[in-house]
Amino acid sequence: MVSVRYRPSGSLHSHRTGEFVYTVISDAPMVGLHVQSRPQTLTIVRGMLSGVAEQLGMDPELLDDLKTSVSEACNNVVLHAYEGEPGPMDVRVFADGEEIRVSVEDQGVGLPEAPAVIEDGSGGLGVSVMQALARELRLIPRQGGGTEVLMSFDGRRDERPLYMAPAAATVDRPASHPGDAGDEVTVTVSPVELLSPVLGRVARTLAATAHFSLDRFSDVYLITDALAAHAARASVGDRITATLSPSDRSLALTAGRFRPGTGQMLERRVPSPLSVLVDEVTVSAFDDGDVVELVVRDQR
């Protein structure tokens, strides 16, 4: 799952319950990704970060640090959290005008000891890389099993901001996602303007794993851009969620919620990238808004 959500300002708050210490990141912009911890999902994570960086005008050096550090944390989940098997992984990126904070969380075997603030370079090569690039690094056991890696990065250099602070929106922290969802990826973004760059990169990565041809691969970007444009006009509130499910030469994309009745606009066969390029459009109406499912196939 990719979750992108924004709040005006924020901080890290640590709490102790019994033998566990857990940290709540609140009141700050947040980008997150929920996926299964397979090696190929590292490409999805890096694509999501690139989409956010594009929208925020992020400094290239900061983006490189984020990609490297987050990749190391995710690679540790892939290799160790589930003893080599896939399992749920959440990546969340918070940003305000002063710093970037990243959380990489799994539900795996967990840490053998109490939470640690890494200060001495211990913990293996991956931890050393994260420590070298991040201003602060914490390894924290999750309640119920698993580990959360927290990193923070300076958002300013020589008094110069390294990205444009995003507009504020109020969205709750996402719930945990238990179980194995296969190759399914869910993206939640707020503000809605982030849907186009984030969803476009995630969808293209999944289209490649679904063995799309080059022409159909290019169509995916047009489809996600058209969906993002519709979301900008018709989303309910300042948050929208999209779930992508790839299979061989097929990609299903479910998005919502849209204002009641507006999803029907996507079912109408009028000339548009969606009507021309999508093989199936299904709209499900609920009391709190419409959910749209798009199916893209590559028959070549």
Residue 84's nearest CA partner among 149, 138, 36 is 36
Distances (CA, A) of 78 to 47, 82, 89, 124, 186: 17, 7, 9, 15, 19
Q: How many CA atoms lie within 13 A of 134 on its CB side?
A: 29
Predicted confidence (pLDDT) per residue in 158-179, tens digit: 889 998 876 654 444 444 454 4
Quote the pLDDT of residue 40.
Answer: 87
Domain with CATH 3.30.565.10 in the chain: 2-161, 185-297
Cα dihedral 140, 143, 147, 152 sign: negative
Quote the pLDDT of residue 259.
Answer: 93
Predicted confidence (pLDDT) per residue in 51-79, tens digit: 989 988 999 999 999 999 999 999 999 99
- Which of 141-150, 171-180, 233-242 has the weakest average pLDDT? 171-180
Does 8 have pLDDT greater than 90? Answer: no
Confidence of residue 192 (pLDDT cuts 50, 70, 90): confident
Q: How many CB atoms lie within 10 A of CB 261?
A: 12
Q: Phi and psi of 48, rounded to 5°?
A: -60, -45
CA distance 19 to 277: 54
300 vs 127, residue with greater confidence: 127
What letter represents residue 257's amino acid? R
Which superfamily does CATH assign the domain made up of 2-161 to?
Histidine kinase-like ATPase, C-terminal domain (3.30.565.10)
Structure tokens at 214: 């080059």
CATH topology of domain 185-297: Heat Shock Protein 90 (3.30.565)
Quote the pLDDT of residue 24.
Answer: 38
